C-alpha cells in the first residue's frame, strides 16, 4: 500500500469477545476468568459485563481528591508522526543555524510532506539518480499528487532548495572542507548542483576595516581575499567565503549565521521522549469542567451527543497529523493508596454504610483481586504500587494510553467507575513479537535512540497500519460499570472518549507461573530490572503449602520442579569451573537493589556469585563468567537453600496438591454409589467438613456434595417425623411414594428412614381376573350391563400386559415395535393406566428416534467426531431401554476406537518401536473406525516415512526386474545350492526355513499379538549371526561340490552346470564365489567386455553368477546414509534391521581385511603391484603410439614394396620381458587367509575397496599350472568329439553325399552340433541338397569357430599383458603370462610378430585382419601376413 494510506480513512478493527456471567459464575472471579481464557486470550483483551444489579458505590472523597495530570501532544504520541516531527525539527534547526527561517512549502494546497519526500528520493537512489533518470514524476505519483500538472519539477525544486543541503550536511562533507581546496569544493558542488550562481546578492553583512579583515582567513581555502564575501560565524568566530561553503551561499545571511562545525550540533541525539507533568493541580470537579468544555468546543455539540465512532476517527486523524497540534491532559497512574480507591475498602478510615460492606468483600473489588487465595501475588511481601495496589485514571477526550504489556507479563483488569467510554485495542500474546518487529521496521529512528521504547508507554501506532502488516488487532468500547481484562503478554492501548474515572490493577493466577518465568528470562536478555523476584515468590509459596489453593499447589509443583532442575544444573556448572567456597545467605532480608545481577539486573534469590575483589558486586549463575577475571578460588557461591532442602520443599507442595485428588476421588465414589454400596450420611458430612477446612476449590463437585448433604438432612428430618407418628406428619399415598423415591435416589443411608415403606396399590386392571369374571358372567343366563365394560377393561389389561412384557425386554424393543403398540393402543377406551403407558411409550419412542438420528449423524459425520464427544453421546443414550441399532453401532465404534488407541499407546510407550507391518495393520483398522483418532495422523506419517525409506533402499540395492525381495537381498542367503525356477526355488527355500527354524523376518506376528510379541533387537541380531555362520558353511560345501565336478572328466556329459542345470557346452564362465560354471547364454556377461574379449582373455575381470551377486552392491557410504535416515524413523522395519546387521558384518569384514592388508607381507605385495602396474601402463602407452605411427607410415608406402620388419623395441630395464608368473609369492597361511577373506567379501552385498585389493593380490599369486586339470579334461572331450566326427564322416561317405572338401567337414560338424536323436541316419537326394545348402550357410559360422580354436591355442602360450583372473572359460581355460607386461594394455595386440604392422581403427576385426591372417604350423600362433612377410595361404612357421 502507498505510505500513509491507512491514515486516510480509519477502519475500526474487529470487536473482542464480551462475556456476561451469571450470578453463580460471577461469584468466583478467577474460576470464571479461567473458563473464558481459552477464548479471550486469542484476542488479547476481553470485556466482562457484571450481572445486572452489581453496581458498587463510588467510594473516593471527591472534595479531597487532587491530582496533577500529564500533558499529551497527540501528534507526538504516534510513532510515525513523531519521526516526521523530529525530522522537520532537525531541518528547521539546520536552516535556523544557517541564518535562514524555514517556511514549509505547500503543493496542491497541501503542506508538503518533506519526510515522505526524503524517504522516497532515498529509496529511488538519491537526488542525483532521480535527476539523472528523470524519476520526479514517479515520486509525484507515489506521494499521491495528480499526474500532468508538473508537480514533479516543483518537488525537485523544493528538494534541491530545502532537503539537498541538509543531506549533504548529514553526509559529513561540510565537516571536512578544511582539507579540500577551494577549487575542488567548487567543482564538487558544481557537478552536483549543475553550477549554481555563486555571485553574492545584496550587501555584505560585515562592515569592518581592511586591517581587521586581514586578520580573518577562510577556513576552507586558507585565503583572506574577497573580503566582501567572507562570513564570520556567530558561534565560534571562524571565517568562510560564501562560495567555499557546501552548498555555496548566493546571498549574505541577514540574521545570525553559524559555520558547519556549529551546525553539527543539530545532529546530536535527541533526549528520550516522555510526558511532561502539568503545572496546574486539579480536583475531580475542575478537571471535569475543563474536559467537558474542551470536548463540546472541539466538536461543537454537547458532549453526550458526540458519537464514539466520530471521536475514534478524529483521534487517529489527529495523532497522524503534522499540521494540527492538539494538547490534552491525562490523570494517569494515581496511586489509590494516596487518594483512596473507587471501591469500598475496610481500611478503618471511614465506616461502611448500606451495601458497601458487601462490595468491600467482593472478589471483583480490585483491592481484593490481587490478594485472593487463588492469586499468586498474595505471596509477595509488600505492596507493589500498580500491581497489588490499584492505580486510578482520570481521563478526558483524546487522552490516551500507549502500546504496552504489563510488568512480568501479568494479567490486568480495569474497571470504569463512571464517565464516558474508554476505547481499547488489543493484540494477542502470540503476535507480541510481530508487533514489536513492525514498530521497529516502521519507525527505526525511535528505537535507535530508545531501544526500550515499548516499555516506556509513550508510543502509539495506528491499528490499521499494524493490520496492514499482518498483526491481529481487536477493539472494544468500555462503558461505565464494565470490566476489561488483558491477558499475559498481550499488547494493549487506547484512549478516552471523554471525562471518566477508571481503576486498574494486576493479578496472576496459577496458569501464569510458567509465563512469569519466561518473562524473567526475557528481562534477563534485555537487562531490564524486575519488579519482584519470581524465584522468591515460588519458594515462599512452597514453604507454606497448606495455605495454597489446591490448583495453585499443583502449578507450584511443576514450577518448583523446573526451577530446582535449572538451579542444580547452574550450580554444577559453577562448581566445575573451580569455585569451592560457598555460603548460605537469606536473600529476602537483603534489599532488592543490593542483590541485582551486575550483568542482567535480575533480582537474585536462589543463588548468586561474588568475588573478594568487589564484595558489593554479584551476578546470577547465568552470568558467572561475567563477574570478573579473578581466579575461581577467589569467588564464592552464595545460596539461599542447600541442595538437600529442595526435595523436602517439593514433597510438601506435592502432598498438598495430591490431597485434593484423594478427596475428589472419595466424593465421586460416594455420590455414584448404588443401593448396595451406599455410605452413611455421617461420612458425607465428614467429607464436606474436610473440604471446608482445607479450603478446596468451590467447584461443581463440592457443590454437589453440599446439595446432597442438605437434601439428606431434610429427608432425615421427615423420616424422623413419620417414624414418631405425630399428628401433623400424615402424608398422602402419592406424597409418600414421592418421598420413598427420593430416599432411594439419595447416595447415602438415612438410619431414621429404615421403616418407611409404601405398599403399592393395584391401579391397573388385572387381565386374569377380568378374564375369569367375563367367563363367569357369560355363563350366566342373564344380560349383565357390566359385561361390555369388562370386555373393554380386558382389552386394556391385555394391551398393558403386552406393553409391560415388551418393556421388560429392552433388547427386543425396536422402534417399529413401539410404533405398532402405540397404534394398537390408540383405539382403546380411555383409562389413566393406558394413557400413562401411552405417554411413556411415546416419550420413549421420541427419545429413541432422537438418539438414533443423532447416532446416525455421528457415524456419518465428516469430519469425524472426537472420542470424548462420542463417549458422552453413548453414555447419555446408555440408559434408554430400547434396541437402537445406530447407538449400538456407535458404541461398537467407540469400543474399537478405544482398543485402537490403547494399542497405539502401548506400541508408542513400549521399549521398542513397532514394526511397519504392525503400524500398517493399525492404520487400516483406524481408517475404518468412524471416530476421529488423535493418533491416526501420526501413524499415517510414520507409515509413509517408513515406506519411503524402504522404497529408497530398494532402489539402491535391487536390480531391475529382480526376482529377489529387498529383505532377501539384505539377509544372509538361505538358497545356497538351490536351483530351478523362481517358484520352485521359493518353495524349496521355504522348506529349508521351516526345517532349520531360522530367522523368519517375513513372517511377523499377527496384529493382535503385536504388542506382547515384539521381537527383541538382541534376538534379531543373534539370529542374524547364526544365519551368517550357516551361510558360510553352506558356501564352503557348495564350493567343494562344484570343484569336485571337474574330477568327473570321463562322465563330463552327465555333470549338470549353470542355472539351467544342463551339461557343459559352448562359451562358459566360472563364478568366483560358488565355483560353478555357467553358460554364456544363460547369464548376463560382465560389464568388462563382450564374449570375444572374454575368449581372447584380455582384461579379465571377476565374474559372479546371478545367484551369488543378487543386488547392485552399493558402496558402504551409500548404506551409511540410509542408516542415518533409518535412525530418524520411529518405526522398525525388517529390512532396516537386516541392513544394520549387513552393515555391521561388512564393517567387521572391512576391519579384518584392513588388518590383514596392513601386515608387512601383504602391504609390500600391494606396493609391488602398484609399481608394476604403473610401469606397464606407461610402456604400453609408448608402444601403442609407435604402432600407430608405423601403421600410418605403412599406408603411405606402395603395397608392392616389401615392408621391412620393425626393429625390436628397446626393452625397459624396469620391467624385464622374461618375467614369469606368479608375480607375487605369499606364504601359504597368508594366501589361505586372503582366499577366506575373498570368499566372505564376495558374500557381502556391499562394494568395498578392500575386495579389489585382495583380488589383485590373489591374481598375482596364481601359478600357470593351476588349471592343468581343466586342460586334461578338455583334451579328453576333444578326443571324444573327433571320434564322433570320424563316425559321422564314414556314414556320409557310405550314403554318397555330394558334399566335398572343407564344406563337407563343416556340415558334419554342424550336424554334430545339432545333436540329432539316436536314430540311423538315412539320406536321400533331397536331403543331400539340403545338407549342401546347410553347409554353405554355415560356412561362415565354422570359420568363426575355427578362429576361436586358434585363440584357444594361442592362450596356451605366454600372453602379453598383466591380466586379472576373474572369469574362467570352460572351453578355453585361462592362463596368466606376465612376460609381455608392456603390451598388456593393448586389447587388440594378439599378433605374434614383434613389429606388428596392425592397421588402425575399424580395419581390424578381433585383433587380426580376417582376410590377411594365418597360423604357424609349429606353435599355432596367429600373425598378420603383412607383419611376417609370408604370402597369403602359403603356410609356414611364425616369427617366433
* DSSP-assigned letters across all residues of 820-851: HHHHHHHTSPP-HHHHHHHHHHHHHHHHHHHH
Q: Bigger pLDDT: 1349 or 459?
A: 459
Mean pLDDT value of segment 1226-1241? 87
User: For residue range 284-306, what is the model confidence (pLDDT) as tens digits?
Assistant: 999 999 999 999 999 999 998 99
pLDDT at residue 1339 tops 80:
no
The CA distances from residue 1159 to 452, 485, 1153, 1224, in Å, are: 70, 81, 10, 15
Q: Where are the alpha helices (DSSP H) in 443-486?
A: 444-449, 463-468
Q: pLDDT confidence of 397, banded at 50, 70, 90?
A: very high
Decide: 1380 and 1361 in contact? Cβ < 8 Å.
Answer: yes
* Helix axes of 550-576 and 513-526: crossing angle, nearest 10 degrees: 40
Helix (H) or strand (E) holding 478: strand 474-478
Quick one: pLDDT at residue 1254? 86
Among 169-173, 284-288, 418-422, 469-473, the least confident range:
169-173
The CA distance from 1396 to 1184, in Å, is: 11
Over pLDDT 90: what percentage of the chain?
18
Q: Bigger pLDDT: 1228 or 755?
A: 1228
Mean pLDDT value of segment 1088-1096? 49
The CA distance from 315 to 360, in Å, is: 37
Among 345-359, 803-817, 822-836, 1081-1095, the least confident range:
1081-1095
The CA distance from 223 to 221, in Å, is: 6
Over pLDDT 70: what percentage of the chain?
71
pLDDT at residue 1330 tops 50:
yes
pLDDT at residue 139 tops 60:
yes
Non-local CB neighbours of 627 within 8 Å, separated by 6+ positions:
598, 609, 610, 611, 617, 618, 619, 635
The CA distance from 393 to 336, in Å, is: 10
DSSP character string of 1297-1340: ----HHHHHHHHHHHHHT---SS-----HHHHHHHHHHHHHTHH
- Number of Cβ within a 10 Å radius of residue 540: 16
Q: pLDDT confidence of 717, banded at 50, 70, 90?
A: confident
Quick one: pLDDT at residue 1313? 45
Q: What are the beta bridge partners of residue 66?
A: 283
Quick one: pLDDT at residue 1282? 65
The number of residues in the chain equals 1440
pLDDT at residue 308 tops 90:
yes
Among 30-34, 831-835, 1153-1157, the least confident range:
831-835
Quick one: pLDDT at residue 109? 74
Mean pLDDT value of segment 1235-1263? 85
Coil, strand or helix: which one is 1012? coil
Helix (H) or strand (E) holding 1341: helix 1339-1355
Residue carrying C-alpha cell 487517529: 316
Quick one: pLDDT at residue 45? 96
Decide: 1032 and 1066 in contact? Cβ < 8 Å.
Answer: no
pLDDT at residue 210 tops 70:
no
Mean pLDDT value of segment 1109-1116? 89
pLDDT at residue 87 tops 80:
no
Mean pLDDT value of segment 1100-1118? 85
DSSP character string of 733-758: HHHHHHHHHHHHHSSEE-GGGTT---
Quick one: pLDDT at residue 283? 93
Mean pLDDT value of segment 955-980? 85
pLDDT at residue 437 tops 50:
yes
- Number of Cβ within a 10 Å radius of residue 385: 14
* Helix axes of 79-97 and 114-123: crossing angle, nearest 10 degrees: 90
Q: pLDDT confidence of 725, banded at 50, 70, 90?
A: low
pLDDT at residue 470 tops 80:
yes
Quick one: pLDDT at residue 473? 96
Q: Where are the alpha helices (DSSP H) in 971-1016?
A: 982-996
Decide: 1135 and 1105 in contact? Cβ < 8 Å.
Answer: no
pLDDT at residue 17 tops 90:
yes
Helix (H) or strand (E) holding 1179: helix 1160-1196
Q: Which set of grid coordinates corresponds to residue 804?
A: 409391560
Helix (H) or strand (E) holding 18: strand 18-19
The CA distance from 337 to 391, in Å, is: 8
Among 195-199, 404-408, 784-788, 1329-1333, the least confident range:
195-199
Decide: 34 and 509 in contact? Cβ < 8 Å.
Answer: yes
The answer to whether the Cα torsion of 168, 173, 178, 180 is positive or negative is negative
The pair phi, psi for residue 614, each rounded to 5°, is -150, 85
The CA distance from 145 to 147, in Å, is: 7
Decide: 1412 and 1424 in contact? Cβ < 8 Å.
Answer: yes
Which of 78-82, 450-454, 717-721, 1436-1440: highest mean pLDDT?
717-721
Mean pLDDT value of segment 950-975? 88
pLDDT at residue 489 tops 90:
yes
Quick one: pLDDT at residue 372? 87
Among 181-190, 586-595, 1171-1180, 1354-1363, the least confident range:
181-190
Quick one: pLDDT at residue 315? 93
Mean pLDDT value of segment 546-557? 83
pTM: 0.47
pLDDT at residue 715 tops 90:
no
Quick one: pLDDT at residue 1309? 46
pLDDT at residue 365 tops 70:
yes
Quick one: pLDDT at residue 419? 95
Mean pLDDT value of segment 2-15? 67
Quick one: pLDDT at residue 256? 66
Q: pLDDT confidence of 780, banded at 50, 70, 90?
A: low
User: How high does pLDDT run on average in the chain?
Assistant: 75
User: For residue range 1186-1208, what is the model confidence (pLDDT) as tens digits?
Assistant: 888 888 777 655 544 444 444 44
Q: Bigger pLDDT: 964 or 778?
A: 964
Which of 270-279, 676-685, 1093-1102, 1224-1233: highest mean pLDDT?
1224-1233
Quick one: three-class SS letters along 390-428?
Answer: CEEEEECCCCEEEEECCHHHCEEEEEEEEECCEEEEEEC
pLDDT at residue 1180 tops 50:
yes
Decide: 318 and 74 in contact? Cβ < 8 Å.
Answer: yes
Decide: 1219 and 1377 in contact? Cβ < 8 Å.
Answer: no
Non-local CB neighbours of 1101 within 8 Å, separated by 6+ positions:
1086, 1087, 1088, 1364, 1366, 1367
Q: Bigger pLDDT: 1302 or 1128?
A: 1128
pLDDT at residue 996 tops 50:
no
Rounded to an integer, what is the distance from CA 1264 to the centroid of its chain?
A: 64
Quick one: pLDDT at residue 661? 78
Among 283-297, 381-395, 451-465, 1414-1428, the least confident range:
1414-1428
User: For residue range 1372-1387, what is the model confidence (pLDDT) as tens digits?
Assistant: 333 333 333 333 333 3
pLDDT at residue 264 tops 80:
no
Rounded to an integer, what is the distance from CA 648 to the centroid of its chain?
A: 39
Which of 199-203, 456-460, 486-490, 778-782: highest mean pLDDT?
486-490
As a dihedral over the C-alpha atoms of residue 173, residue 177, residue 180, residue 185, rounded to 10 degrees, the angle is: 70
pLDDT at residue 640 tops 80:
yes
User: For residue range 866-889, what is the model confidence (pLDDT) as tens digits?
Assistant: 878 888 888 877 778 888 888 888
Mean pLDDT value of segment 855-872? 82
Q: Is the peptide bond before 1034 cis (omega within 30 degrees of 0)?
A: no
Q: Bigger pLDDT: 1339 or 1257?
A: 1257
pLDDT at residue 503 tops 90:
yes
DSSP character string of 28-96: -HHHHHHHHHHHHTTTSEEEEPPPTT--PPP-S-TTT-EE--EEEEHHHHBHHHHHHHHHHHHHHHHHH
Q: Bigger pLDDT: 834 or 41?
A: 41
Quick one: pLDDT at residue 1219? 43
Mean pLDDT value of segment 93-113? 74
Quick one: pLDDT at residue 442? 80
Amino acid at each position: 500500500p502507498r505510505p500513509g494510506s491507512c491514515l486516510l480513512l480509519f477502519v475500526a478493527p474487529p470487536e473482542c469477545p464480551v462475556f456476561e456471567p451469571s450470578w453463580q459464575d460471577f461469584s468466583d472471579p478467577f474460576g470464571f476468568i479461567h473458563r473464558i481464557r481459552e477464548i479471550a486470550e486469542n484476542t488479547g483483551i476481553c470485556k466482562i459485563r457484571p450481572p445486572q444489579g452489581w453496581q458498587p458505590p463510588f467510594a473516593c472523597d471527591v472534595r479531597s481528591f487532587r491530582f496533577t495530570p500529564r500533558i499529551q501532544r497527540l501528534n507526538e504520541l504516534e510513532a510515525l508522526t513523531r519521526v516526521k516531527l523530529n525530522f522537520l525539527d532537525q531541518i528547521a534547526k539546520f536552516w535556523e543555524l544557517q541564518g535562514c527561517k524555514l517556511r514549509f512549502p505547500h503543493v496542491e494546497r497541501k503542506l508538503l510532506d518533506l519526510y515522505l519526500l526524503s524517504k522516497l528520493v532515498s529509496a529511488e537512489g538519491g537526488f542525483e539518480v532521480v535527476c539523472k533518470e528523470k524519476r520526479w514524476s514517479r515520486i509525484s505519483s507515489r506521494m499521491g499528487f495528480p499526474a500532468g500538472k508538473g508537480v514533479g519539477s516543483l518537488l525537485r525544486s523544493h528538494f534541491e532548495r530545502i532537503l539537498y543541503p541538509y543531506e549533504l550536511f548529514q553526509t559529513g562533507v561540510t565537516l571536512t572542507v578544511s582539507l579540500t581546496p577551494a577549487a575542488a569544493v567548487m567543482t564538487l558542488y558544481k557537478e552536483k548542483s549543475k553550477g549554481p550562481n555563486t555571485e553574492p546578492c545584496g550587501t555584505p553583512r560585515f562592515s569592518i576595516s581592511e586591517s581587521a579583515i586581514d586578520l580573518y582567513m577562510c577556513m576552507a581555502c586558507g585565503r583572506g581575499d574577497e573580503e566582501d564575501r567572507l562570513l564570520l560565524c556567530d558561534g565560534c568566530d571562524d571565517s568562510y567565503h560564501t562560495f567555499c561553503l557546501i552548498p555555496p551561499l548566493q546571498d549574505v545571511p541577514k540574521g545570525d549565521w553559524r559555520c558547519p562545525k556549529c551546525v553539527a550540533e543539530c545532529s546530536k541525539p535527541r533526549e528520550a521522549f516522555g510526558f511532561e507533568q502539568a503545572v496546574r493541580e486539579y480536583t475531580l470537579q475542575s478537571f471535569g469542567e475543563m474536559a467537558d468544555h474542551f470536548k463540546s468546543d472541539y466538536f461543537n455539540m454537547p458532549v453526550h451527543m458526540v458519537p464514539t465512532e466520530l471521536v475514534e476517527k478524529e483521534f487517529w486523524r489527529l495523532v497522524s497529523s503534522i499540521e494540527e497540534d492538539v494538547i490534552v491532559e491525562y490523570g494517569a497512574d494515581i496511586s489509590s493508596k494516596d487518594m483512596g480507591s473507587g471501591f469500598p475498602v475496610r481500611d478503618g478510615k471511614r465506616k461502611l454504610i448500606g451495601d458497601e460492606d458487601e462490595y468491600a468483600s467482593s472478589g471483583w473489588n480490585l483491592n481484593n483481586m490481587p490478594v485472593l487465595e487463588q492469586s499468586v501475588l498474595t505471596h509477595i511481601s509488600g505492596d507493589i504500587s500498580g500491581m497489588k495496589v490499584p492505580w486510578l485514571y482520570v481521563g478526558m477526550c483524546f487522552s490516551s494510553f500507549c502500546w504496552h504489556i504489563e510488568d512480568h507479563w501479568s494479567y490486568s483488569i480495569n474497571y470504569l467507575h463512571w464517565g464516558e467510554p474508554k476505547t481499547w485495542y488489543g493484540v494477542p500474546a502470540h503476535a507480541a513479537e510481530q508487533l514489536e518487529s513492525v514498530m521497529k521496521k516502521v519507525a527505526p529512528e525511535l528505537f535507535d535512540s530508545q531501544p526500550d521504547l515499548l516499555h516506556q508507554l509513550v508510543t502509539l501506532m495506528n491499528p490499521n497500519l499494524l493490520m496492514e502488516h499482518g498483526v491481529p488487532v481487536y477493539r472494544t468500547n468500555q462503558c461505565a460499570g464494565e470490566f476489561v481484562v488483558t491477558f499475559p503478554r498481550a499488547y494493549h492501548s487506547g484512549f478516552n472518549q471523554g471525562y471518566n474515572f477508571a481503576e486498574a490493577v494486576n493479578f496472576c493466577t496459577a496458569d501464569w507461573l510458567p509465563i512469569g518465568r519466561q518473562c524473567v528470562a526475557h528481562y534477563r536478555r534485555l537487562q531490564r530490572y524486575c519488579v519482584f523476584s519470581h524465584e522468591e515468590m515460588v519458594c515462599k509459596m512452597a514453604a507454606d503449602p497448606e495455605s495454597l489453593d489446591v490448583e495453585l499447589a499443583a502449578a507450584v509443583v511443576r514450577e518448583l520442579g523446573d526451577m530446582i532442575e535449572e538451579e542444580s544444573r547452574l550450580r554444577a556448572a559453577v562448581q566445575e569451573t573451580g569455585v569451592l567456597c560457598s555460603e548460605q545467605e537469606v536473600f529476602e532480608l537483603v534489599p532488592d537493589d543490593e542483590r541485582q545481577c551486575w550483568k542482567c539486573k535480575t533480582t537474585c534469590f536462589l543463588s548468586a556469585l561474588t568475588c573478594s575483589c568487589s564484595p558489593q558486586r554479584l551476578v546470577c549463575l547465568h552470568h558467572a563468567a561475567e563477574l570478573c577475571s579473578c581466579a575461581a578460588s577467589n569467588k564464592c557461591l552464595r545460596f539461599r537453600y542447600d541442595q538437600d532442602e529442595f526435595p523436602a520443599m517439593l514433597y510438601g507442595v506435592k502432598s498438598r496438591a495430591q490431597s485434593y485428588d484423594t478427596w475428589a476421588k472419595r466424593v465421586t465414589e460416594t455420590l455414584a454409589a448404588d443401593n448396595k454400596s451406599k455410605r452413611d450420611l455421617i461420612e458425607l458430612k465428614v467429607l464436606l467438613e474436610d473440604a471446608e477446612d482445607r479450603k478446596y476449590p468451590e467447584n461443581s463437585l463440592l457443590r454437589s456434595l453440599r446439595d446432597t448433604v442438605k437434601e439428606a438432612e431434610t429427608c432425615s428430618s421427615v423420616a424422623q417425623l413419620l417414624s414418631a407418628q405425630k399428628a401433623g406428619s400424615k402424608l398422602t399415598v402419592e406424597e409418600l411414594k414421592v418421598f420413598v423415591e427420593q430416599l432411594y435416589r439419595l447416595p447415602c443411608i438415612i438410619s431414621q428412614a429404615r421403616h418407611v415403606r409404601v405398599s403399592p396399590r393395584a391401579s391397573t386392571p388385572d387381565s386374569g381376573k377380568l378374564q375369569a369374571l367375563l367367563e363367569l358372567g357369560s355363563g350366566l343366563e342373564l344380560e349383565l350391563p357390566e359385561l361390555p365394560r369388562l370386555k373393554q377393561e380386558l382389552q386394556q389389561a391385555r394391551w398393558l400386559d403386552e406393553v409391560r412384557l415388551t418393556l421388560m425386554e429392552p433388547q427386543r424393543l425396536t422402534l417399529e415395535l413401539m410404533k405398532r403398540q402405540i397404534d394398537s393402543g390408540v383405539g382403546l377406551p380411555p383409562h389413566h393406566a393406558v394413557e400413562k403407558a401411552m405417554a411413556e411409550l411415546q416419550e420413549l419412542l421420541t427419545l429413541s428416534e432422537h438418539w438414533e438420528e443423532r447416532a446416525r449423524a455421528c457415524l456419518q459425520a465428516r469430519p469425524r467426531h472426537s472420542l470424548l464427544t462420542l463417549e458422552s453421546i453413548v453414555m447419555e443414550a446408555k440408559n434408554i431401554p430400547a434396541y437402537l441399532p445406530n447407538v449400538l453401532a456407535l458404541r461398537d465404534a467407540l469400543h474399537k476406537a478405544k482398543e485402537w488407541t490403547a494399542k497405539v499407546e502401548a506400541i508408542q510407550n513400549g521399549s521398542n518401536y513397532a514394526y511397519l507391518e504392525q503400524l500398517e495393520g493399525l492404520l487400516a483398522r483406524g481408517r475404518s473406525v468412524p471416530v476421529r483418532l488423535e493418533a491416526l495422523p501420526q501413524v499415517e506419517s510414520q507409515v509413509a516415512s517408513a515406506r519411503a525409506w524402504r522404497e529408497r533402499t530398494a532402489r539402491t540395492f535391487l536390480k531391475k526386474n529382480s526376482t529377489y525381495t529387498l529383505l532377501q537381498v539384505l539377509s544372509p542367503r538361505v538358497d545356497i545350492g538351490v536351483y530351478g525356477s523362481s517358484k520352485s526355488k521359493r518353495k524349496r527355500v521355504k522348506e529349508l526355513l521351516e526345517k532349520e527354524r531360522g530367522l523368519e523376518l517375513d513372517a511377523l506376528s499377527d496384529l493382535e499379538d503385536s504388542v506382547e510379541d515384539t521381537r527383541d533387537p538382541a534376538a534379531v541380531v543373534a539370529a542374524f549371526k547364526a544365519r551368517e555362520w550357516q551361510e558360510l558353511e553352506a558356501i564352503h560345501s557348495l564350493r567343494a561340490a562344484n570343484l569336485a565336478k571337474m574330477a568327473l572328466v570321463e562322465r563330463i556329459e552327465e555333470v549338470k552346470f549353470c542355472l539351467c542345470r544342463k551339461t557343459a557346452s559352448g562359451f562358459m564362465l566360472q563364478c568366483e564365489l560358488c565355483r560353478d560354471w555357467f553358460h554364456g547364454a544363460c547369464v548376463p556377461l560382465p560389464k568388462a567386455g563382450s564374449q570375444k574379449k572374454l575368449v581372447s582373455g584380455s582384461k579379465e575381470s571377476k565374474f559372479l553368477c546371478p545367484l551369488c551377486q543378487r543386488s547392485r552392491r552399493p558402496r558402504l557410504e551409500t548404506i551409511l546414509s540410509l542408516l542415518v535416515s533409518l535412525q530418524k524413523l520411529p518405526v522398525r522395519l525388517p529390512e532396516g534391521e537386516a541392513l544394520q546387521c549387513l552393515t555391521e558384518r561388512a564393517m567387521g569384514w572391512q576391519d579384518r581385511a584392513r588388518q590383514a592388508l596392513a601386515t608387512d607381507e601383504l602391504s609390500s605385495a600391494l606396493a609391488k603391484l602398484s609399481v608394476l602396474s604403473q610401469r606397464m601402463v606407461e610402456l604400453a602407452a609408448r608402444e601403442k603410439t609407435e604402432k600407430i605411427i608405423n601403421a600410418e607410415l605403412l599406408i603411405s608406402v606402395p603395397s608392392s614394396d616389401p615392408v621391412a620388419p620393425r626393429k625390436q623395441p628397446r626393452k625397459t630395464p624396469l620391467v624385464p620381458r622374461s618375467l614369469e608368473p606368479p608375480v607375487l609369492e605369499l606364504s601359504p597361511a597368508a594366501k589361505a587367509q586372503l582366499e577366506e577373506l575373498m570368499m566372505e567379501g564376495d558374500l557381502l552385498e556391499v562394494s568395498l575397496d578392500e575386495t579389489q585389493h585382495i583380488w589383485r593380490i590373489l591374481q598375482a599369486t596364481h601359478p600357470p599350472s593351476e588349471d592343468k586339470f581343466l586342460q586334461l579334461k578338455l583334451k579328453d572331450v576333444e578326443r571324444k568329439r573327433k571320434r564322433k566326427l570320424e563316425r559321422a564322416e564314414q556314414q556320409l561317405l557310405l550314403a554318397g553325399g555330394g558334399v566335398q572338401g572343407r564344406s563337407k567337414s563343416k556340415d558334419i560338424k554342424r550336424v554334430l552340433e545339432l545333436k540329432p536323436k539316436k536314430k540311423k541316419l538315412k539320406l536321400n537326394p533331397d536331403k543331400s541338397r539340403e545338407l549342401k545348402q546347410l553347409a554353405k550357410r554355415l560356412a561362415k559360422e565354422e570359420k568363426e569357430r575355427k578362429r576361436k580354436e586358434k585363440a584357444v591355442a594361442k592362450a596356451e602360450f605366454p600372453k602379453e599383458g598383466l591380466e586379472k583372473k576373474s572369469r574362467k572359460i570352460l572351453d578355453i581355460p585361462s592362463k596368466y603370462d606376465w612376460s609381455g607386461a608392456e603390451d598388456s594394455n593393448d586389447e587388440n595386440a594378439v599378433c605374434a610378430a614383434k613389429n606388428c604392422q596392425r592397421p588402425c581403427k575399424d580395419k581390424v576385426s578381433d585383433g587380426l585382419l580376417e582376410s590377411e591372417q594365418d597360423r604357424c604350423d609349429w606353435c599355432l600362433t596367429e600373425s598378420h601376413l603383412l607383419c611376417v612377410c609370408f604370402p597369403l595361404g602359403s603356410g609356414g612357421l611364425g616369427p617366433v
